[in-house]
C-alpha cells in the first residue's frame, strides 16, 4: 500500500528537471488537448475498427539464458494471450544489443512465436556492426508501407548517422561499441536521410488528405533530447511531407518510456522496452505531461511492457501500455488517446 501511494504521489508531482534547452514544446490545439485528444477530425476517412500490438527494444545479448530473452518471451506470450486478438504486431527496433547475427537470430526465433504477422524496423543496436546487413537478410527492407483496413502504415529507418568512423579508422566492433552508449560522445545525430525522404514523398503522393496514417520510427519525430538521440534529424521534413493528412499517429521506440507529444496533425507516443527503462532526460516534458512512475531497481520487470493500439472507425486511437509492474499513473492506466 505504501508503495502504491508513494508512486501515485510521485506520478503527479515529480519533475525531472527544469532545463528547457533542447526540448521542442508545441502548444496543442484545444481540440487535441489530452483528454479530448483522439477525436478524429471531421474529414478523416472512416475505417474498419481493429487493433494491433507493439513491441520494441529487447536489446538481446549473445549470452545464453539471458534475462532479456525471458522478458521478450514473456512479451510475446502477453501479445499472444490478448483477449482482443491484434491483427498484427509492429516491432520498433533494437532487437539485438551489439548487432550480432546470434542476437538477431535469437530475437527472430522468439518473435516468430507470435501467432499474428509482424513488421519490424531497425534500431541502432541492430545496425552498426555490419550496417544492417544481417538485419536485412533476416527481416527485409528497412522501410516499408502497407494498407490495412483503411489505414496506411509506414515504417522507416530513423537511425542513419553521418560517417564518423571511416576518418577515425574505427573497426565495426568499435563503431558498434560507441553506439551502444545512449550518450555516445562522438556519434552525432541521426535521421532517415535523403533517400528515405524521397521514398516517403512518393509513398504518400497519391493518398488523399483524409487517409488515416500510422508511422513507426525507432526514434521520436520531434526534438526531445538530442543528446540521447531522442530525436530524428530530418523530422521537420517528415512532418512537412505528412502535413497534408488530417491525422497521423506516430509511434517510436528508443526512449524506453511513456512519453507523448503532439505537433500539428501528428500525435506521437513513446514505447516501453522489454530490456530496461530509461530515466526522463533533464528537459521539461511537452504539455500535457504524460509519464510513467519511477522504477524499482529491485524489480527487473518494472518499467517494461507491451502495447496494444486500438483504432475505431473514426481513427481515434487508444494506446494501452501493458506494463509488467505497477508503473503507470492513473491517467496513463486508462490508456493514452492518440
Partner 1 sequence: MNISKLMLIGVAVVGVASVSVAYAKSPRSEKQIAAENKALMDAVAKGDALWHDGRLGTNGLACGNCHPDGSATNPHTWPKYQTNLGKVGTMRDMINWCVAVPLQGKPLAFDSDEMIALEAYATYTHRGITIAPGKDEQHGAVPVKSGPGYP
Give the footprint of partner 1 on this chain (CB under 8 A).
6, 10, 14, 16-17, 19, 21-22, 61, 63, 66-67, 97, 180-183, 185, 226-228, 275-283, 294, 296-298, 300
Question: What is the closest distance, in whole angstroms, from the C-beta atom of residue 157 to partner 1 in the complex?
Answer: 22
Dihedral sign, Cα of residue 89, residue 252, residue 232, residue 261? positive
Name the residue nearer to partner 1 (CB basis): 66 or 313.
Answer: 66
The total number of residues shown for the chain amounts to 338
Task: Tell me how crowded residue 127 is: count the other CB atoms within 10 A of its CB.
Answer: 28
Question: What is the closest distance, in whole angstroms, from the C-beta atom of residue 159 to partner 1 in the complex?
Answer: 16
Question: What is the closest distance, in whole angstroms, from the C-beta atom of residue 319 to partner 1 in the complex?
Answer: 24
Question: What is the closest distance, in whole angstroms, from the C-beta atom of residue 183 to partner 1 in the complex?
Answer: 5
Q: Which residues contact residue 270 at a Cβ distance below 8 angstroms, ignoring those fewer than 6 apart?
A: 220, 252, 253, 254, 255, 257, 258, 259, 260
Task: Give the CB-side neighbour count of residue 263, counting CA atoms within 13 A.
Answer: 20
Name the residue nearer to partner 1 (CB basis): 52 or 128.
Answer: 128
Name the residue nearer to partner 1 (CB basis): 22 or 88.
Answer: 22
Name the residue nearer to partner 1 (CB basis): 49 or 180.
Answer: 180
DSSP 8-class letter at 31: G
DSSP-derived secondary structure for 171-239: -HHHHHHHHTSTT-SS---EE-HHHHHHHHHHHHHTS-TT--EEEEESS-SS-SBGGGTBS-TTHHHHH
Question: What is the closest distance, in whole angstroms, from the C-beta atom of residue 332 to partner 1 in the complex?
Answer: 17
Question: What is the closest distance, in whole angstroms, from the C-beta atom of residue 305 to partner 1 in the complex?
Answer: 16
Name the residue nearer to partner 1 (CB basis): 127 or 278.
Answer: 278
Question: What is the closest distance, in whole angstroms, from the C-beta atom of residue 279 to partner 1 in the complex?
Answer: 4
Task: Tell me how crowded residue 9 is: count the other CB atoms within 10 A of its CB.
Answer: 12
Q: How far apart are CA 82 and CA 222, in angstroms?
A: 31
Residue 308, all three cell numbers: 496494444
Name the residue nearer to partner 1 (CB basis): 125 or 247.
Answer: 125
Task: Tell me how crowded residue 236 is: count the other CB atoms within 10 A of its CB.
Answer: 14
Name the residue nearer to partner 1 (CB basis): 14 or 115.
Answer: 14
Amino acid at each position: 500500500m505504501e508503495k502504491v501511494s508513494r508512486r501515485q504521489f510521485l506520478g503527479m508531482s515529480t519533475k525531472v528537471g527544469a532545463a528547457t534547452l533542447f526540448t521542442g514544446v508545441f502548444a496543442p490545439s484545444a481540440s487535441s488537448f489530452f483528454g479530448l485528444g483522439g477525436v478524429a477530425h471531421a474529414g478523416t476517412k472512416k475505417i474498419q475498427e481493429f487493433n494491433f500490438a507493439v513491441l520494441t527494444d529487447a536489446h538481446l545479448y549473445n549470452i545464453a539464458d539471458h534475462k532479456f530473452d525471458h522478458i521478450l518471451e514473456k512479451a510475446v506470450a502477453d501479445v499472444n494471450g490478448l483477449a482482443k486478438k491484434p491483427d498484427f504486431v509492429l516491432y520498433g527496433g533494437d532487437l539485438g544489443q551489439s548487432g550480432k547475427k546470434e542476437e538477431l537470430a535469437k530475437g527472430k526465433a522468439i518473435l516468430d512465436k507470435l501467432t499474428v504477422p509482424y513488421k519490424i524496423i531497425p534500431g541502432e543496436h541492430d545496425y552498426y556492426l555490419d550496417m544492417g546487413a544481417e538485419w536485412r537478410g533476416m527481416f527485409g527492407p528497412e522501410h516499408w508501407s502497407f494498407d490495412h483496413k483503411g489505414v496506411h502504415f509506414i515504417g522507416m529507418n530513423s537511425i542513419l548517422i553521418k560517417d564518423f568512423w571511416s576518418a577515425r579508422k574505427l573497426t565495426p566492433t568499435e563503431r558498434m561499441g560507441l553506439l551502444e552508449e545512449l550518450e555516445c560522445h562522438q556519434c552525432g545525430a541521426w535521421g532517415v536521410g535523403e533517400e528515405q525522404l524521397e521514398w516517403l514523398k512518393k509513398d504518400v503522393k497519391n493518398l488523399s488528405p483524409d487517409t488515416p496514417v500510422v508511422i513507426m520510427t525507432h526514434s521520436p519525430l520531434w526534438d526531445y533530447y538530442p543528446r540521447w538521440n531522442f530525436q530524428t534529424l530530418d523530422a521537420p521534413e517528415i512532418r512537412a511531407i505528412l502535413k497534408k493528412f488530417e491525422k497521423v499517429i506516430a509511434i517510436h521506440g528508443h526512449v524506453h518510456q511513456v512519453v507523448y507529444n503532439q505537433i500539428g496533425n501528428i500525435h506521437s507516443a513513446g514505447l516501453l522496452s522489454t530490456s530496461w527503462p530509461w530515466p526522463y532526460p533533464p528537459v521539461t516534458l511537452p504539455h500535457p505531461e504524460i509519464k510513467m512512475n519511477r522504477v524499482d531497481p529491485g524489480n527487473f520487470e518494472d518499467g517494461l511492457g507491451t502495447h496494444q493500439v486500438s483504432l475505431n472507425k473514426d481513427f481515434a486511437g487508444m494506446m494501452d501500455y501493458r506494463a509488467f509492474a505497477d508503473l503507470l499513473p492513473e491517467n496513463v492506466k486508462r490508456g493514452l488517446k492518440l
